[in-house]
Amino acid sequence: MAVPKRKTTKSKRNMRRAHDALSVENWVEDSNTGEPVRRHHIDLKTGMYKGRQVIEERG
């Protein structure tokens, strides 16, 4: 059975876990509707992206 030769220090352990944090979604207020929307995403309700109509509006 494989056994570690040395104890992993708290520093090394925590360095390894540094990338495990959850990322935060970036929400902004829409200038037209005032609703919160994600940046760089098409608003599926209105079909707008960067102030222009990209897809047809859903009824």
What pTM did the predictor assign?
0.48
Say whether 23 sits in a helix, a strand or coil.
coil
**Structural domain boundaries of the chain?**
25-59
H helix and E strand count, the chain = 1, 4
The neighbour count for residue 4, using CB atoms within 10 Å, is 6
Question: Phi and psi for 6 in degrees, rounded to 5?
Answer: -130, 155
pLDDT tens digits in sequence order for the chain, 59 residues long:
899 999 999 999 999 988 888 888 889 888 878 888 888 988 888 888 888 889 886 55
Per-residue confidence (pLDDT) for residue 59, from 0 to 100: 57
